[in-house]
Amino acid sequence: MTGSAVGGKIPVAIVGNLNLDVRTSPIPSSVVLTGDGETSVTGIDESVGGGAANTAAAAALMGGEAHLCCAVGADELGTRLCRHLAGLGVRVHPAVKPVATGRSIALTWESHHRHFVSSLPNTRLLVEADIDLEALIRAGCRHLYRADVWFGDLMLAEGNTSLFRRARQAGMETSLDINWDPLWTTGGDHDRVGHRISLLKSALPSVSFVHGNERELALFTGAQSIQHSARLLREWGAGAVIVHRGAMGCAAATPAGWFEVPAVPVTRIVSEAGTGDVFTAAFLLNPHLPMEARLRECAAAAARHLQGSPRYTPALDSGGE
Ligand SMILES: Nc1ncnc2c1ncn2[C@@H]1O[C@H](COP(=O)(O)OP(=O)(O)OP(=O)(O)O)[C@@H](O)[C@H]1O
Ligand SMILES: [Mg+2]
């Protein structure tokens, strides 16, 4: 194996969604969107979206060498998004699919709740063969992070498990963001939800770090407490669990024990979307730190993002340059 952190840059491999996000400024919590009508908001902007793309952008803006493996449609939007990311310093490895590039509408509420309405046909077609693991290793990547796992239907059955296994066999560390399966929002299809969870569970023995917020980890494991969720995930094979806890901070369950790190207080919040992605970008770029110090770096990056300085998920230019 060759490759190293050239010029101090740490190369990391990130696999998952790339799409357009259309983001609203906060909508008054009193507004009911299911009725006829119209709601005015202060602003609506466009940005690159997708957990993987956001993490890659943040990692590049933090000075890392972020390699993003994703699918795009064969259209102008896909080209525009890749060009924007490349302009931020991301090394994009897009697999072009004969569909439209995905779009997501991010509704943000004054109550701080968010709801995404998304159509991601490009990501649905991502397959393991689209990810050139050997090239990523040659580029020096020692950590492979899989985000947006529920949207790549074709990889759920076997591709994720195989990709993680091959990465571990090659000596890489691996991370999996459990995130939110859209089926958890609509509910109902109990068997399908359980089947998808069991598919991902089979990947855990090849996952060094499972990431997620308390709610996501609880839904995935069925456990009542975060400590119980983390214990189950480690029993199922995960090396460690990184827990996102919003303004309460974060925690990690590792073989060396349980660590808790408080949030860095923020005076004003400019941008909440993508906080978890920025946090994870910092995690990927600090493998040399002991866990507690590593989590402190992540918390500090998340606070910078929340306060809008710097902007780790900059809005897209309107001209498509
Ligand atoms: N209001 C806040 N104040 C300070 N730090 C915060 C705040 N919200 C989040 N953080 C920090 O960012 C980390 C990740 O945020 P969060 O818990 O919202 O992740 P998430 O639910 O995975 O988010 P996302 O939906 O963006 O993936 C937290 O663990 C915490 O350290
Ligand atoms: Mg998250």
| CATH number of the domain within which 221 lies | 3.40.1190.20
pLDDT of residue 272: 84
pLDDT of residue 289: 97
Give me the residues of the chain with pLDDT under 50, please: 1-6, 319-321
Choice from 211, 275, 294 to test ligand 1 binding pocket (greatest atom count within 8 A of CB): 275
- 300 CB near ligand 1 (under 6 Å): no
Answer yes or no: is 130 within a domain: yes
Answer yes or no: is 38 within a domain: no
CA 247 to ligand 1 centroid distance, Å: 6
What domain count does the chain have? 1
CA 211 to ligand 2 centroid distance, Å: 8
Answer yes or no: is 173 within a domain: yes
Answer yes or no: is 319 within a domain: no
DSSP 64: -
Burial of 174 (0-12, 13-18, 19+ CB in 10 A): buried
CA 38 to ligand 2 centroid distance, Å: 30
Ligand 1 atom nearest 216 alpha carbon: 21
Answer yes or no: is 317 within a domain: no
Q: Do 23 and 47 form a contact (C-beta atoms < 8 A)?
A: yes
pLDDT of residue 8: 66
- 313 CB near ligand 1 (under 6 Å): no
Helix, strand, coil percentages for the chain (3-state, nearest 5): 40, 25, 35
pLDDT of residue 2: 34
Residue nearest to atom 21 of ligand 1 (CA): 213
Choice from 211, 279, 298 to test ligand 1 binding pocket (greatest atom count within 8 A of CB): 279
Choice from 213, 244, 295, 309 to test ligand 1 binding pocket (greatest atom count within 8 A of CB): 244
- 306 CB near ligand 1 (under 6 Å): yes
DSSP 235: H
Domain encompassing residue 232: 9-27+44-306
Answer yes or no: is 285 within a domain: yes
pLDDT of residue 110: 86
pLDDT of residue 5: 45
Cα(275)–Cα(284) distance, integer angstroms: 14
Q: Provide the strand spans (E) within 182-266.
A: 209-213, 240-244, 250-254, 257-261
- 248 CB near ligand 1 (under 6 Å): no
Answer yes or no: is 311 within a domain: no
Answer yes or no: is 313 within a domain: no
CA 276 to ligand 2 centroid distance, Å: 4
- For 94, the enclosing helix (H) or strand (E) is strand 91-97
pLDDT of residue 189: 87
pLDDT of residue 196: 96
Q: Which two tokens stand for residue 217?
A: 């980890």
pLDDT of residue 86: 98
For the stretch 138-163, pLDDT in tens is: 999 999 999 999 999 999 999 999 99
Phi-psi region of 201 (alpha: psi -120 to 50; beta: other; left: phi over 0): alpha
Three-state secondary structure call for residue 224: coil
